Structure 1
Amino acid sequence: MNIKVFTIEKSSDSRIDTLSREFIKMISKNALVEEVVLFNNKISKAQIKGFKEAKDSYTKIYESHLNGYNIALDVKGEEYDSCQFSKIFDNKMSINFFIGGAYGFNEEFLNKTHKVISLSKLTFAHKIAKVVLYEQIYRGLCIKNNHPYHK
């Protein structure tokens, strides 16, 4: 199974990066996982202009990566418990997770994905959402493989 996590980040944080790498290493025992960080001047300029322009720029940069089974993380998405989340990995060869930028996604992009999920009703900083997603991916794969991580 191939898993890609797409994010829009301006800068990195060594503490978050270290935690992300730890989860990626653990996930790699069950799946190939790759983090794809996308941020460019067009997104930066769009964010200055306003939320609609920002959402449109996220859609534009993410659209070319819509292959495989695509899941957007969005506040309007469906919430799952960990066991339900683990079922996402059933019979999938390639899964892409898209974490929205600061202004979220526009409806056009959400309609092009297979699923829209929410990690919580709470709002997380982008980098925290990424770590929570990695932990849930690891937990979900552990559930699928009867690993004792999920008790």
Structure 2
Amino acid sequence: MSHHHHHVPPPPYTADNAYAHDLMLLRVEPPFTPTPHVQPLALPTRPPATGDNCTVMGWGTTTSPQESFPDTPQCLNVTVVGDATCCRVYGAKFTEDMLCAGGTVAGKDSCQGDSGGPLICQGVLQGIVSWGDHPCGQAGKPGVYSEVYNYLPWIREIMGQP
């Protein structure tokens, strides 16, 4: 079966921050049929809380600054970090539409090639890998994610859901 997709970027914002609004939806035709191995993630009903335990997934490099990409997707357990901490670490690059996770253990973080991957907290898609400091995995420098909860009105509009 062949699937075709149509990408839908978020509405044009006037943000001066190149890191802002780092997400996109894909409309796939025909829709994927759920199977035991293909399932949609639930959308959030609340924003993630500081301290929530989550899993980030991706195909990104497992070493930094030298890049070594894995043959299989990788998973890492991370903890949501408070906005105040992210503001202190990243300054004006960090906005209200972002969240941070990880950064507590050196060498453990999302990295180049993971962008667009999910941050899943208790089975719910809370974030989308966006950016972080370079090299990756520095203690005290959490990964930064687009916070899905803040985009729910736009997501529901595009998906034709109330």
Provide the TM-score with structure 2 as the length reference: 0.25
Larger Rg: 2
The structure with the greater share of residues assigned to strand is: 2
Which structure exhibits the higher relative contact order, with contacts defined as CA atoms closer than 8 Å and separated by 6 or more residues? 1
